[in-house]
């Protein structure tokens, strides 16, 4: 769906490993609803019993162990509620192939239809296209955009989806990419407010989005090009 009145779901999962084909399962799902690129406050969060031990490597990532997950519902018990929450909305996911692989494996084991990859909006791919050669992990993008991820000591599906929602909105141009440009009436704003809005200088400049490592790498590249490098004219 494009244009206004668009619902999107920002989604993240935690798992027991990397390959559902080798017996790995989902242990947590978190999702955040966006409407016209703005958070609505509606979320989905569920811990899931994977019916198998959690390897130490996975526990080190998300901190969800066997004792904690033992009394949580099976994926079969939450599948319909999860599907009802996401509906037919696009799914915004960081490294979408990974999460979609697991979700479709879980759905397949229940003989439920797979989620088409065409529904996935991969923020990792967007970041790599927009900033080629730069780190594109969720933590790296938080640093680039000044998104607070201080609570992310371990991966958590709901926290990560909330953080990813902020990163996604920055990747597509800010929290209101079409502000002042929509042709139709806004249900959430006064018409006279929209028409009178004008861009003004920021009272506080945005923080630089280039990291120290990126700046040093660029300086080294320019230095290697010699004194005649075009970049030297703009220093």
Give the whole-angstrom CA distance, residue 122 versus residue 10.
Answer: 10
**pLDDT per position as a tens digit, 192-229:** 433 444 445 555 565 666 677 777 777 777 777 777 66
Pairing of strands 7-15, 26-35: antiparallel
Residue tagged active-site, from 37, 62, 94, 155? 155
The whole-model pTM stands at 0.73
Q: Which residue in 16, 20, 14, 12 sits closest to 109, CA to CA?
A: 20
Query: In the annotation, is 155 catalytic?
Result: yes
Tokens 């300086």 correspond to 219
Flag whether pLDDT at 187 surpasses 50.
no
**pLDDT per position as a tens digit, 106-121:** 999 999 999 999 999 9
Percent of the chain with pLDDT over 70: 78
């Amino acid at each position: 769906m494009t244009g206004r009145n668009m619902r999107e779901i920002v989604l993240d999962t935690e798992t027991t490993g990397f390959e559902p084909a080798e017996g790995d399962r989902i242990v947590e799902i978190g999702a955040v609803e966006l409407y016209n690129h703005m958070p609505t406050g509606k979320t989905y969060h569920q811990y899931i019993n994977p019916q198998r031990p959690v390897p130490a490597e996975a526990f080190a990532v998300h901190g969800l162990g066997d004792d904690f997950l033992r009394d949580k519902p099976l994926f079969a018990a939450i599948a319909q509620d999860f599907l009802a929450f996401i509906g037919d909305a696009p799914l915004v996911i960081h490294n979408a192939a990974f999460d979609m692989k697991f979700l479709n494996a879980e759905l397949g084991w229940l003989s439920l239809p797979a989620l088409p990859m065409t529904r996935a909006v991969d923020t990792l791919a967007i970041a790599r296209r927009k900033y080629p050669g730069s780190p594109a992990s969720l933590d790296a993008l938080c640093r680039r955009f000044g998104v607070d991820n201080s609570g992310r000591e371990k991966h958590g599906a709901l926290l990560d989806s909330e953080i990813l929602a902020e990163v996604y909105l920055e990747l597509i141009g800010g929290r209101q990419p079409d502000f002042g440009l929509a042709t139709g009436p806004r249900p959430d704003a006064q018409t006279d407010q929209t028409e009178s809005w004008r861009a003004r200088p920021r009272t506080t400049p945005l923080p630089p989005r280039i990291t120290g490592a990126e700046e040093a790498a660029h300086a080294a590249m320019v230095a290697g090009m010699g004194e005649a490098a075009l970049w030297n004219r703009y220093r």
